[in-house]
Structure 1
Amino acid sequence: MSTIFRLPGDLHGVSGDCSFRHYGVCPMPVVSTCRSLFKSKASWVGLRCVVLSRSSRRRTISSRKGDANHPVRALFTGIVEELGTVADVGTVEDGFEMTINASVALDGVKLGDSIAVNGTCLTVTRFDDNSFSVGLAPETLRRTSLGDVVPGSLVNLERSLQPTSRLGGHFVQGHVDGTGTIVSMDKEKDSLWVKVKTSADILRYIVPKGYIAVDGTSLTVVNVFDDELAFNFMLVSYTQQKIVVPLKSVGSKVNLEVDIMGKYVERLLAGYTTRPAQT
């Protein structure tokens, strides 16, 4: 399979033995031409190498271990752009990978971009014209409901916020705080009431008329039931057609991310309450 190895300045060549295999950087065959020039770029290539397959046109990214210490920063609005379909979930070397069929989320996508999948910020590691793949860390599977998805599952997708984007929801980081369980789903005319039970650690940050991201969807909390460790929200007809929550059932898990402002306030106030009294 012929490949192109891209560097700044559109340097490229055709496939051969990778001159960086010695450095443990690139696991794939890359160029044989301009090898001396590529060796001079070893420090740059050590960050990540991008390979474009001519035959499949599927772009892939390979990073050295330790890149996780430098996470990609992203921000979302909680306005779902489309429902993607999980095509495959499986294991890869040293981890797990999920491939999702999509269309809107692929518009302008680049390797290393962040896409929120059911509210979880994930990094694009491969993509083609119809799908993209993301890596799943063990901590992600423990903290979120993504471990429950199977091929054919629908998931909420949102690309990261750009400086020119309109903020239609609220600031969502894609850092899931934990999961909740749907305990009731009740219709009221064409609207849908959903009640979710969660842990006390999460509920403490949820307030009536406040924001919460449920599977990455920016929603307004209606009521908080402290004695039940639960809260509810209402979905209008339009929203029901655009997100995955209405497709779930009682007992299903949802990803929850509370409004970050509550955490900041708690942290700041803790500093005052723990200060020693001044005399």
Structure 2
Amino acid sequence: MFTGIIEEIGHVASIKRGAKSVVLTIKAKEVIEGTKLGDSIAVNGVCLTVTSLTAAGFMADVMHESMERSSLSKLKIGDAVNLERAMLAEGRFGGHIVSGHIDGMGKIEKIRQDDNAYWYKITASSEIINCIVMKGSITIDGISLTVAGLDDTSFSVSIIPHTRANTILANRKVGDLVNLENDIVGKYIQRFCAGARLDASADNGSGSKKASGTGLSMEMLAMNGFL
């Protein structure tokens, strides 16, 4: 598990491409301190397993699923990447719960300066937008951020100078693709509401009712003891 607080900006040292997968070598310093083989490091928000360590960085395999769902497939040698080690049990929870499992990509539509802050407007699929709420959390390239604007096709975040200076957001331009991970709490709630079904006429043999019908309803709440 991660918190979305970036520890270091690393750089892609090499890319070894397979048929559908990739082996990345990342040049880094801070995140390899105390790291062991098999540990997890989030690279632009994607949870990767460390397969090799050197004094100059680490290597990690990127499987086909991660390549398809994230912008890691667009990386080039020399590119800067956001890095975060998995959270220690005794660590501070500075951001929000981040799994490192990317939901999809968004596209930067607009960047504008607002005094000392920068606003980023990002378009995304309806599956991602539907799990976003105003003032809720969203992870962009591994960075835990607060949603400050929202409509049917896009959302906006306002970036403080520290975050911009210490992450790769400073390098991002209009048209760039970014990795997005929705707040996991919101995803669980959406799944529960969408999948809640009851069938008052069916019984599974234990006295409880089977599922039928869709969505959250007064009947479903009553059947489950909430009313």
TM-score, normalisation: structure 2: 0.86
Structure 1 counterpart of 2:168, which letter? V
Pairing 1:234-253 to 2, within 5 Å after superposition: 234-253=158-177
Long gaps (5+) in structure 2: 203-227
Change (3 A) 1:257 1:94: closer
Match of 1:108 in 2: 34
Residue among 48, 61, 76 paired with 1:122: 48
Change (3 A) 1:218 1:94: closer
Structure 1 counterpart of 2:163, which letter? T
Residue among 191, 195, 198 paired with 1:267: 191
Residue among 213, 219, 228 paired with 2:145: 219
| Aligned mates of 1:236, 1:164 — CA distance in 2 | 27
Match of 2:182 in 1: 258
Residue among 169, 178, 199 paired with 1:276: 199
Pairing 1:122-271 to 2, within 5 Å after superposition: 122-226=48-152, 229-271=153-195
Residues 20 and 64, structure 2, Cα contact 8 Å, conserved in 1: no
Shift of 1:271: 4.4
Residues 21 and 67, structure 2, Cα contact 8 Å, conserved in 1: no
| Aligned mates of 1:250, 1:196 — CA distance in 2 | 9
**RMSD across aligned C-alpha pairs, in angstroms?**
1.5
Long gaps (5+) in structure 1: 1-74
Residues 131 and 190, structure 2, Cα contact 8 Å, conserved in 1: no
Secondary structure of the residue aligned to 2:199 is coil
Shift of 1:93: 8.8
CA deviation map 1:233-268 (0-9, x unaligned): 000111111111221100000000000111211222
Secondary structure of the residue aligned to 2:134 is coil
| Aligned mates of 1:269, 1:110 — CA distance in 2 | 40
Match of 1:78 in 2: 4
Pairing 1:38-117 to 2, within 5 Å after superposition: 75-91=1-17, 95-117=21-43
Residues 105 and 124, structure 2, Cα contact 8 Å, conserved in 1: yes
| Aligned mates of 1:232, 1:267 — CA distance in 2 | 24
Is the radius of gyration larger for structure 1 or structure 2? 1
| Aligned mates of 1:188, 1:271 — CA distance in 2 | 42
TM-score, normalisation: structure 1: 0.70
Bigger RCO (CA 8 Å, 6+ sep)? 2
| Aligned mates of 2:192, 2:72 — CA distance in 1 | 32
